[in-house]
Amino acid sequence: MANDGGRKQFWKRSGTKVPGSIQHVYGAQHPPFDPLLHGTLIKPGSKPPTTPVKLKKVSTFQEFESNTSDAWDPGDDDDELLAIAAENLNTEVVMETAHKVIQNHSKLQEQHKFLEEHLQEEKQVESAELTSVACGDNRLVKSVSEGHTSSSSGNASENSSMQRSQSLPQTSTPPLVSGMADFNTSVTPALTEREASRLDKFKQLLAGPNTDLEELRKLSWSGIPKRVRPIAWKLLSGYLPANVDRRESTLQRKRKEYFAFVEQYYDSRNDESHQDTYRQIHIDIPRMSPEVLRLQPKVTEIFERILFIWAIRHPASGYVQGINDLVTPFFVVFVCEYIEEEEVENFDVSSLPEEVLQNIEADSYWCMSKLLDGIQDNYTFAQPGIQKKVKMLEELVSRIDEQVHRHLDQHEVKYLQFAFRWMNNLLMREVPLRCTIRLWDTYQSEPEGFSHFHLYVCAAFLVRWRKEILEEKDFQELLIFLQNLPTAHWGNEEVSVLLAEAYRLKFAFADAPNHYKK
| Residue 122 pLDDT | 62
d(CA 248, CA 117): 46
Task: Return the higher-pLDDT residue of 264 and 341.
Answer: 264
Tens-place pLDDT, residues 332-351: 999 999 986 556 777 888 89
Q: Assess whether pLDDT exceeds 90 at residue 423.
A: yes
Beta bridge partners of 449: none
- Of residues 229 and 133, more confidently modeled: 229
Fold of 384-511: Cyclin A; domain 1 (1.10.472)
Q: Kindly report which listed range (245-249, 431-435, 485-489, 511-515) carries the lowest average pLDDT score.
A: 511-515
398 or 24: which leads in pLDDT: 398
Identify the CA nearest to 342 among candidates 229, 138, 179, 186. 186
Residue 3 pLDDT: 52
Of the two residues 406 and 513, the one the predictor is more confident about is 406
Q: Is 219 exposed, middle or buried (0-12, 13-18, 19+ CB in 10 A)?
A: buried
User: Per-residue confidence at 463, pLDDT binned at 50, 70, 90?
Assistant: very high
Q: Is the pTM of this model over 0.95?
A: no
- How far apart CA 317 and CA 310 sit, in angstroms, is 10
Burial of residue 451 (CB within 10 Å: 0-12, 13-18, 19+) is: buried
Q: What is the mean pLDDT of residues 82-97?
A: 54
φ, ψ for residue 372, nearest 5 deg: -70, -25
Q: Mean of the pLDDT values across residues 255-269?
A: 95
Q: What is the pLDDT of residue 347?
A: 82
> Are 452 and 385 within 8 A, CB to CB?
no
Chain mean pLDDT for the chain: 76
Q: Is the pLDDT at 488 greater than 90, yes or no?
A: yes
Least confident of 168-177, 203-212, 449-458: 168-177
Of the listed ranges 138-152, 311-325, 407-421, the least confidently predicted one is: 138-152
Q: Report pLDDT for 212.
A: 96
Q: Which of the listed ranges 182-186, 292-296, 374-378 does the model predict with the highest average pLDDT?
A: 374-378
The predicted pLDDT at position 142 comes to 37
pLDDT score of 459 more than 50: yes
* pLDDT tens per residue across span 131-175: 443 333 433 333 333 444 344 444 444 444 444 333 333 333 333
Banded model confidence at residue 63, pLDDT cuts 50, 70, 90 = low
**pLDDT above 90 (res 389):** yes
DSSP 426: T
Residue 252 vs residues 86, 259, 260, 266, 387: alpha-carbon distances, Å: 84, 11, 12, 21, 39
Coil, helix or strand at residue 401: coil
pLDDT at residue 282 above 70? Answer: yes
Residue 374 confidence (pLDDT) above 80: yes
> Which alpha helices (H) appear in 133-208, and where do they start and end?
144-160, 162-167, 193-207
* Residue 8: pLDDT band with limits 50, 70, 90: very low
- How many alpha carbons lie under 13 Å from residue 74 in its C-beta half-sphere? 0
d(CA 331, CA 347): 13
Instruction: List, for residues 124-133, the tens digit of each pLDDT value.
Output: 655 554 444 3
Reference 473, options 413, 400, 389; nearest CA is 413
CA–centroid distance for 347 within its chain: 25
Q: Is 232 within 8 Å of 216 (Cβ atoms)?
A: yes
- Higher-confidence position of 414 and 132: 414
What's the per-residue H, E or C state across 219-256? HHCCCCCHHHHHHHHHHHCCCCCCEHHHHHHHHHHHHH
pLDDT of 126: 53
Mean pLDDT of 441-457: 95
Q: Which helix (DSSP H) or strand (DSSP E) does residue 334 occupy?
A: helix 327-336
328-333: average pLDDT = 94
Give the separation between CA 182 and CA 196, rounded to whole angstroms: 16
Work out the average pLDDT over 236-242: 96
Q: Which of 70-79, 257-266, 280-289, 481-490 has the lowest mean pLDDT?
A: 70-79
Q: Where are the domains of the chain?
A: 208-374, 384-511
